Structure 1
Amino acid sequence: MQSFVDFIQGFLDLGATVILPIAIFLLGLLFGQKPGKAFRSGITIGVAFVGIFLVVDLLVNNLGPAAQGMVDRLGVELDVIDVGWPATSSIAWATTSVAAFIIPLGLIVNVIMLMTKMTKTMNVDIWNFWHYTFMAAMIYTISGSIIQGLIAAVVFQIVALKVADWTAPMVSDFYELPGVSIATGSTISYSPGIFLVKLLQRIPGIKNWDADPDTIQKRFGIFGESIFIGLFLGALIGFLAGYSVGEIIDIGMAMAAVMVLMPRMVKILMEGLMPISESAREWLNKHFGDRDIYIGLDAAVLLGHPAVISTALILVPITVVLAVILPGNALLPFGDLATIPFVVAFIVGAARGNIIHSVIVGTVMIALSLYIATDVASVFTQMAENAEFDMPEGSAQVSSIDQGGNLVNWLIYRLFSLFN
């Protein structure tokens, strides 16, 4: 069992830039493409994800230290440390009793749902199956039952695929990614924010508060372009972190680069994805009648819209302040502050890029995540100890905003807790 888990972990360690081209190439062959055309699509998408993840690393490597600087300046002392998604995924895969089953089980469930028309999403975002693994590991930890853990993982996956189907039209319309859906566990957790956006846009006065990138550019001219918005917001975060003038300029330039480069990478992605989407649609129409099919991808592809990065950069200091002022919160946000763009992407899409509305709803959802992450900290810490995870110095417990503060994960966890 351990050797199989090691094989799975080694496969996942290859990353999206290796796994995805292989998956796309095989899908292309399945849908009747010539090998050369399928191979080109796979390589093009792989190249796009190399670029996307390079830009994401630029974002994370600059935003993480700045966030830590803000925490240090505020002198925040809380008992639960946000260890971030990399540590969280490692803790999940270390629960070998259930981890070995997740990828094959997840693929089988997806195929069955496609064949029975329960979903339109063919999810090739395999490396993000760790969200399902964490769900299974959490339930296994409280119940000691492998079966219960796997059932919980399947429930999480079904919810993720249904949310992916539901939000796919918005992904196509607003993000201009036709044929793409997003089933990433952290992103679908914030989908209830879509309803809050709709509610907000019906409130007199507030519904007229409009600050999408196009409006900002019209109002401020050249200084309203996404490159200047990134420069300004990045510099502001550097200032709040107590950086020197040179460091403030440096992080400002990094965020400006993220704003400019990410949309370019997403365009390359679509160049490779469109032939596969068209072939998939033709194949399904031939064998199953007129059906839409979505290719499930990592939420990173949504970061190409400047409103997503703008909203996330504003929410970083807000999240730190929320951690300080919310009564009952014990989570010190750190590791997952740089993942905020991923979790707010659906909210931004629902708000049609309105940064003001996105920040308001994002604030509410992040506050909820802080409380959820605090609530699951004890079992999260138990999982970390079982995985022999090195606890951060000075922390009594660990959790995370991404999966520890995941609403879907928490609801399933609470449901299974009733029986354990």
Structure 2
Amino acid sequence: MSVLGNVINWILGLGAAIFVPIIIIIAGLIVGMKLKDAISAGITLGVAFTGMSMLIGFMSDAIGPAAKAMLTHTGINLPIVDGGWTTLSAIAWSWPYAFLMFPLMIGLNILMLIINKTKTFNADLWNVWGKIFTGVAVAAVSKPYFGTAASIALAFIVAGIQIIFELKMADMYQYRIEKLSGIPGVTCTHKMGFTSIFMFPIDCILKKIPALNKRFDAAALKDKIGIFAESHVLGFILGIIFGILARYSVAATLQCH
């Protein structure tokens, strides 16, 4: 692996809480932010990542044992473990050609901005792993048919198409995301947005069903059921249910919230 690849892998090894803020600071300076504002934005995002990791860790430590005990006592057999996005990202970053996805994504983004084919600047460089994983999958499937070199080339071609689609998707969804978040000029380039292709027709059908075309967001539910729509109350109730099903003591059950 080249020196550049080793440097990039070392930076990625620092973790999202450090890597992403560095990218945000650099991106902020590129678009003309003052140094202090760019640094402040990067640090804020780093703190958010750390807080999110702590929250997920706490939830896993509190609910994980209860879930296992619940399965034991109910006799339910669930042998397959969902590793989530972390497992997929670990596979992606282990690919020897992973670091080459950075110049591909940045280059395509800049090219599309220059030729006015997108209005989106993708600063979400941490989630480049999504494109890398696409490359890994394409290379693995195509290698037996086309050989190593051709499969790697095909992997980057398909990943490049994904990058272009993500930028076009981000342009198309921008006004909706701004409406939902209340943050002007913000959109999302994450590949999970492609699921809307399948969810849109389902949404259209649900809107035609009288019992299901009502508002079900937190504000609407709070008007109907009061505090039981609050996230902390719902979390407490679910924790109690998990504790009971796990046959925990009263004290242990009350701690599963």
Q: Contact (CA 8 Å) 2:23, 2:125: kept in 1 or not?
A: no
What letter is aligned with 1:12? Answer: L
Aligned to 2:76: 75
Aligned to 2:135: 136
Q: Contact (CA 8 Å) 1:15, 1:127: kept in 2 or not?
A: no
- The number of aligned residues is 248
- Within a 5 Å distance, the mapping from 1:165-184 to structure 2 comes to 165-184=171-190
Which residues of structure 2 form unaligned runs of 5+? 144-150
- TM-score when scaled to structure 2? 0.80
Structure 2: distance between partners of 1:67 and 1:211 = 28
Aligned to 1:214: 219
Q: Contact (CA 8 Å) 2:109, 2:122: kept in 1 or not?
A: yes
1:242 Cα shift?
A: 5.1
Q: Contact (CA 8 Å) 2:27, 2:123: kept in 1 or not?
A: no
1:95 Cα shift?
A: 2.5
Query: What whole-Å deviation, never above 9, does each CA across 1:119-145 have from its counterpart, x for those lacking one?
Result: 222222222111111110111112221
Relative distance call for 1:150 and 1:43 in structure 2 (3 A) is: same
Q: Contact (CA 8 Å) 1:140, 1:148: kept in 2 or not?
A: yes
- Within a 5 Å distance, the mapping from 1:197-236 to structure 2 comes to 197-208=203-214, 210-236=215-241
1:172 Cα shift?
A: 1.8
1:149 Cα shift?
A: 0.8
Relative distance call for 1:16 and 1:236 in structure 2 (3 A) is: same
1:3 Cα shift?
A: 5.9
Q: Which has the higher contact order (CA 8 A, sep 6+)?
A: 1
1:64 Cα shift?
A: 4.6
1:206 partner SS? coil
Q: CA RMSD of the aligned region, Å?
A: 2.8
1:193 Cα shift?
A: 1.7
Structure 1: distance between partners of 2:75 and 2:2 = 44
Aligned to 1:416: none
1:180 partner SS? coil
What letter is aligned with 1:76? Answer: N
Structure 2: distance between partners of 1:245 and 1:226 = 22
1:106 Cα shift?
A: 1.6
- Within a 5 Å distance, the mapping from 1:42-121 to structure 2 comes to 42-69=42-69, 71-72=71-72, 73-76=74-77, 81-96=81-96, 98-121=97-120
Aligned to 1:21: 21
Q: Contact (CA 8 Å) 1:93, 1:133: kept in 2 or not?
A: yes
Aligned to 2:157: 151
Structure 2: distance between partners of 1:152 and 1:7 = 26
1:201 Cα shift?
A: 1.2
Structure 2: distance between partners of 1:8 and 1:220 = 51
What letter is aligned with 1:121? Answer: T
Aligned to 1:246: 251
Aligned to 1:193: 199
Q: Contact (CA 8 Å) 2:66, 2:242: kept in 1 or not?
A: yes
Relative distance call for 1:197 and 1:70 in structure 2 (3 A) is: farther
Which has more strand, going by share of residues?
A: 1
Structure 2: distance between partners of 1:123 and 1:74 = 47
Structure 1: distance between partners of 2:71 and 2:165 = 34
1:67 Cα shift?
A: 4.7
Structure 2: distance between partners of 1:46 and 1:247 = 33
1:49 Cα shift?
A: 3.2
Q: Which of these two proteins has the greater Rg computed from alpha carbons?
A: 2
Query: What whole-Å deviation, never above 9, does each CA across 1:277-313 have from its counterpart, x for those lacking one?
Result: xxxxxxxxxxxxxxxxxxxxxxxxxxxxxxxxxxxxx
- TM-score when scaled to structure 1? 0.52
What letter is aligned with 2:229? Answer: G
Aligned to 2:123: 124
Relative distance call for 1:167 and 1:62 in structure 2 (3 A) is: farther
Query: What whole-Å deviation, never above 9, does each CA across 1:350-394 have from its counterpart, x for those lacking one?
Result: xxxxxxxxxxxxxxxxxxxxxxxxxxxxxxxxxxxxxxxxxxxxx
Which residues of structure 1 form unaligned runs of 5+? 253-420
Structure 2: distance between partners of 1:105 and 1:43 = 27
What letter is aligned with 2:182? Answer: E
Structure 2: distance between partners of 1:51 and 1:7 = 27
1:151 Cα shift?
A: 1.0
Aligned to 2:148: none
Query: What whole-Å deviation, never above 9, does each CA across 1:170-207 have from its counterpart, x for those lacking one?
Result: 2221233332222233x324323244223211223332
What letter is aligned with 1:124? Answer: A
Aligned to 2:146: none
Structure 1: distance between partners of 2:154 and 2:166 = 18
Structure 1: distance between partners of 2:209 and 2:175 = 25
Relative distance call for 1:44 and 1:99 in structure 2 (3 A) is: closer
Aligned to 1:40: 40
2:213 partner SS? helix
Structure 1: distance between partners of 2:62 and 2:36 = 39
What letter is aligned with 1:179? Answer: G
1:23 Cα shift?
A: 2.4
